[in-house]
A and B are shown apart, each in its own frame.
Chain A
Amino acid sequence: MEIATVFNFTHDAVIFAVGMTAILASLGVILCSSPIYCALYLIGHMICLALLFLLYNAEFLAVVQIIVYAGAVMILFLFIIALLGGKKEVQENTFHRAMAFAFVFILLGELYLSATVGTTQPIRGEIPAELFGTAKAIGLELFSKHVVAFELASGLLLVAAVGVICLAKFSFAPLRRRVR
C-alpha cells in the first residue's frame, strides 16, 4: 500500500470520524434535558466543526471558529444559563413534536436525494495551494474584493453592541401582562 493511499485513507477516516462526532454532538444538543449539558455538547460540536474546517484547508476559519464560537459565544451561553438557572425541561410527546419529527425526516430525505445529483468541477489555478485558507489569503480577499461588506459588518456589530447595552442597562418596568 503506497504512502499516499495510506495518507488518503487516514485523511478520509479522520474526516468521517470527526463528521460523525459532530452529528452525534448535535444530537446531544437537542436531546439533553439539562441546558448545561446542551451547551457542553454544543462546544464539542463546535470543536468538531473547527477540525473539519482545518481538514478542508480553512485554517484561519478554524481558529476563528474556536475563538468566536467555542470561546466567546458559548461562554456567553454558559453565563446566561448560570444566571437564569439550568432547569431541566420535561419532554412530552405531543402532536406538534410528532409533526416536527415527521417533517424533519422528510426534509432530510429530500436533502439526501438532492445531494446525489453529481459532483462539481473545481476552478483551477486561482489560488496557490500553499496559500489556500491562510490568514494572508483571506485578508487579501477580504480587503480587496469585499471591503464594503466588511465595513457594513463592522457597523452591524457596533449596532448590536449598542443594542445590547440598551437592553441590559435600562431596567424596564414590568410589561403589562396580558389578562388571561
Chain B
Amino acid sequence: MFASSWLILLFPLLGFIGLSWYGNRISRKLVGFVGCGTVGASFFMTLVTLSNLLFLQPEERVGQVQTLYQWISAGSFKLNLAILVDPLSVFMFLIVTGVGFVIHVYSVGYMHDDPEYSRFFAYLNLFIFSMLVLVAAADFFFLIVGWALVGLASYLLIGFWREKASAVLAARKAFVMNVIGDVGMVIAALVIFETFGTLSFVDVFASAPDQFRPNDDAMLLITMLLLVGAFAKSAQLPLHTWLPDAMEGPTPVSALIHAATMVTAGVYLIARCHVLYELAPYTMYFIAGVGIITAIFAGSMAMVQYDIKRVIAYSTMSQLGYMFLAMGIGVYSLGMFHLMTHAFFKALLFMAAGSVIHSLDGEQDLRKMGGLQKVMPLTHATFLIGALALAGFPLTSGYFSKEAIILSSYHAEMGNIVFWAIAVLTAGMTAFYIFRVYLFTFFGKLRSPEAHPHESPMIMVAPLLVLAALALLGGVLGPWVDSFLAPVFGHVAHPHDNALETIALIAGIGGIATAGLLYMVSKQRLDLFKEALAPLYDLLLHKYYVDEIYDYLIVRPTKAIGAFLEQKAEREGVDFTVDQVGLQIKEVSHVISLWQSGKVRSYALNMIVGVVTILMFVVFM
C-alpha cells in the first residue's frame, strides 16, 4: 500500500548527493532546478501517500511500518531501517515538503547572486532529507538520527556565510544548544530500551499503558529526558538563546528551518510520544507551564527589538510556546493545526521580511526602513496578511488555530485560568509587536536615503503569494486536520465560550491598535514613555540578560575549568607523560641500537652468549 513511501526520503537525499558532487560543474539554472525539483518530487510522492492513506478506513490508518532494510540484528536487539506511515507523519511530510518546496523556489531568487549557490541548495536538500528522516522514523533510534542530522543541517545553514564571524559563532551556539538536547534524547532512548526492551514506536506505545500507572517514575524520567531534546530543538526556555542568533543565516533558512519545520520538531516529538506523556501528567503540566512562560517571555522581548528578523524569531519562540501549551494541556491536534498555520504565516513573514532585506541590500534594522508600501506593493500585501494571521485577526488562519488553543487552555481538562490569562496577554503582545514591525517597515518615509528599494523578482513574489493564500485561508482546514489526525490522537472537544473568545479577540485588536497609537505619537513623547519605563525597557532590550547569566554561570566557569585543566592535566599530566614515554623509549632504544653494530662478528658473539646461557640451563638444571 505504501511501498513507494520511501521515495519521499530518497529524492532530497539524491539531490543532496548530486549537488554536493556535481554542483560546481553544472549551470546555476540546473542547480536551482535540481534543488527545487527533488523537493517537489518528494511533495508529489507525499500527495500520493496521502491519497493512499485517505482510501483506508480511519481505524486502519495507524502504524503502517514500512521496513526497508534490517540494519542490526544482535540477539534480542533488532534495528530495522523503517519508516512509519500514519496520519501524523504524513501530516508532517506535507508541511515539510510543501512549505519546503515553496521556500526552495523562493531561494532561487533570494540567493541568486551568491557565489556558493550550489552549496546552499545541497544543504537545503540535506535539511529536507534530515527532517523527513526525523518525522518518518519508526523508532527512537532513527528519530535521534534525524534529530542530529537536522541539527547538523541547521548548523551548516546558519553558518552558510562562513566569512561572517557572527554567523559562525551563531552556528556554533545553535549546535551546542542542540547537542545538549541530543544528549537528553540519547539518554531517553537508552532508558526506553532498558524499560521496554525495544525502541520501536509501535511496540513501546502499545505496551506502555499496560505496564505503567500514571506518574510512574520511569515514565516521568523518560518524558522529562525527551523534553530536554524537545526544548533544545524548539527553543523553549532555558535552552532558547540560540534561536534569535540563528537569524544570522540566510533568510530562506530562517523561514524553512527556524520557523516552519525544524523548530517544530519538539512539538512533533511530544505529539508522537503523546501516549507516554499521557502517562505522565506532571510532565504535561510542566510542558504547558514552560510553553506559556516561553510565549510571554519571548513575546515581551519581541516588543522592543529593532532587527526585523529577530522580532520574527522571538515571535516564533512565542508561537512555539503556544504549541507546547497545546501539547501540555492535551489538545494535540490543535497544536498540530497551529503548527501548520504557523508554518504558513511565519514562513510568509520571514520571506516577506527577506524580500524587504533583499531590496534594501541586506539592511535588517527597522529604524532604517519605512515607506516601502508604495515601492513593494505585493510584499506589503503579503506581509500584512502574514501579520494579520499572526495577530489572530478574525477569519485568517491564525485566528482559528490560536483562538482554539487559547480557549482550550481554560476549557480543556488540564487547563486553568492562569494559562488562559497569560495566553491572552501574549496574544495582545503578539499583535502589538508584529504591527510595530509592519508600520515601521512599510509606512512613513524611508530612513536610509542611499538605498534604492524595488519590488522583488517574480520568483520570490510567487512563493509569497502562495503562502499568503494559505495563511489567509488555511483556517478552513481546521476540522479536516482534526479528523485526519483523529486516528492518532482521538477527537478533541471544541468548546464554545463567546465571552472568552471576545476577550481574546479584543486583546488582539487592542495590540494592533496600541501599535498604531504608539506609531502615531511624536518621537518626543515616545522617548518620554521609554524614560518612564526605562528599567523594563532595558530588561527587554537585553533579552532578560539570559545570555549574560549563562555567560557568568556556565560559560566562564567552564572556560576557567578548561584553562585550569589544560594547564595542569593536559600539559603537565597527559602531555608530559606521553612525551616522557616517547622520549624515554627513544633513549633506551638508542642505547639498544648501539648493540646492533652491523658487524657480523659481534652478532656471532651474541649468538655464543645465547648458546652459553641456554646450555647453562641444560647442564646445571
Direct contact of A and B (CB under 8 A): yes
Chain B residue contacts of A100, Cβ below 8 A: 601, 605, 608
Q: At the interface with chain B, which of A7-15, A32-40, A73-81, A110-118?
A: A110-118
Chain A residue contacts of B616, Cβ below 8 A: 110
B502 at the interface (CB under 8 A from A): no
A171 to chain B, nearest CB (A): 25
A interface secondary structure, majority: helix
A106 at the interface (CB under 8 A from B): yes
A27 to chain B, nearest CB (A): 18
Query: In this complex, what residue of A is CB-closest to B610?
Result: A103
Chain A residue contacts of B605, Cβ below 8 A: 96, 99-100, 103
Q: Which 5 A-B pairs have the closest CB atoms?
A: A110-B615, A103-B608, A113-B619, A110-B619, A114-B619
Do B601 and A107 touch across chains, with their CB atoms under 8 A apart?
Answer: no
23 contacts between A and B (CB under 8 A): A96-B602, A96-B605, A99-B605, A100-B601, A100-B605, A100-B608, A103-B608, A103-B609, A103-B612, A106-B612, A107-B608, A107-B611, A107-B612, A107-B615, A110-B612, A110-B615, A110-B616, A110-B619, A111-B615, A113-B619, A114-B615, A114-B618, A114-B619
B interface secondary structure, majority: helix
Q: How many residues of A contact B (CB 8 A)?
A: 11
Given contacts A107-B615, A110-B612, 8 further A-B contacts (CB under 8 A): A96-B601, A100-B605, A103-B609, A107-B611, A110-B615, A110-B616, A113-B619, A114-B615
A142 at the interface (CB under 8 A from B): no
- For window 108-126 of A, CB contacts with B under 8 Å fall at 110-111, 113-114
Chain A residue contacts of B618, Cβ below 8 A: 114
Chain A residue contacts of B602, Cβ below 8 A: 96
Give the contact-size bracket for chain B. 10 to 19
Chain B residue contacts of A107, Cβ below 8 A: 608, 611-612, 615
How far, in angstroms, from A106 to B605 measured CA to CA in the complex?
A: 13
How far, in angstroms, from A111 to B608 measured CA to CA in the complex?
A: 13
Chain A residue contacts of B619, Cβ below 8 A: 110, 113-114
- For window 584-615 of B, CB contacts with A under 8 Å fall at 601-602, 605, 608-609, 611-612, 615
Query: In this complex, what residue of B is CB-closest to A112?
Result: B619
How far, in angstroms, from A120 to B601 measured CA to CA in the complex?
A: 36
Query: In this complex, what residue of A is CB-closest to B614?
Result: A110
A96 to chain B, nearest CB (A): 6
How far, in angstroms, from A100 to B602 measured CA to CA in the complex?
A: 9
Chain B residue contacts of A106, Cβ below 8 A: 612
Q: Mark A89-109, 1 if CB is under 8 A from B, else 0.
A: 000000010011001101100
B396 to chain A, nearest CB (A): 88
How far, in angstroms, from A103 to B612 measured CA to CA in the complex?
A: 7
How far, in angstroms, from A113 to B618 measured CA to CA in the complex?
A: 10
B610 to chain A, nearest CB (A): 10
How far, in angstroms, from A113 to B621 measured CA to CA in the complex?
A: 12
Query: In this complex, what residue of B is CB-closest to A104?
Result: B608
Query: In this complex, what residue of B is CB-closest to A111?
Result: B615
Chain B residue contacts of A103, Cβ below 8 A: 605, 608-609, 612
How far, in angstroms, from A176 to B602 measured CA to CA in the complex?
A: 25
Chain B residue contacts of A111, Cβ below 8 A: 615
- For window 284-298 of B, CB contacts with A under 8 Å fall at none
A13 to chain B, nearest CB (A): 31
B606 to chain A, nearest CB (A): 10
Q: Mark A114-150, 1 if CB is under 8 A from B, else 0.
A: 1000000000000000000000000000000000000
B360 to chain A, nearest CB (A): 72
How far, in angstroms, from A114 to B618 measured CA to CA in the complex?
A: 8
Chain B residue contacts of A110, Cβ below 8 A: 612, 615-616, 619
How far, in angstroms, from A120 to B315 measured CA to CA in the complex?
A: 105
Query: In this complex, what residue of A is CB-closest to B616?
Result: A110
A114 to chain B, nearest CB (A): 5
How far, in angstroms, from A113 to B616 measured CA to CA in the complex?
A: 10
Query: In this complex, what residue of A is CB-closest to B597?
Result: A96
Query: In this complex, what residue of A is CB-closest to B601?
Result: A96
Chain A residue contacts of B609, Cβ below 8 A: 103
Which of A99, A103, A113, A114 has most B Cβ within 10 Å? A103
How far, in angstroms, from A12 to B513 measured CA to CA in the complex?
A: 137
Chain B residue contacts of A99, Cβ below 8 A: 605
B597 to chain A, nearest CB (A): 10
How far, in angstroms, from A113 to B612 measured CA to CA in the complex?
A: 13
Query: In this complex, what residue of B is CB-closest to A103?
Result: B608
B71 to chain A, nearest CB (A): 56
Chain A residue contacts of B608, Cβ below 8 A: 100, 103-104, 107
How far, in angstroms, from A161 to B408 measured CA to CA in the complex?
A: 104
Chain B residue contacts of A104, Cβ below 8 A: 608
How far, in angstroms, from A107 to B612 measured CA to CA in the complex?
A: 6
Chain B residue contacts of A113, Cβ below 8 A: 619
How far, in angstroms, from A104 to B604 measured CA to CA in the complex?
A: 11
Query: In this complex, what residue of B is CB-closest to A99?
Result: B605
B131 to chain A, nearest CB (A): 65
A92 to chain B, nearest CB (A): 13
B381 to chain A, nearest CB (A): 85
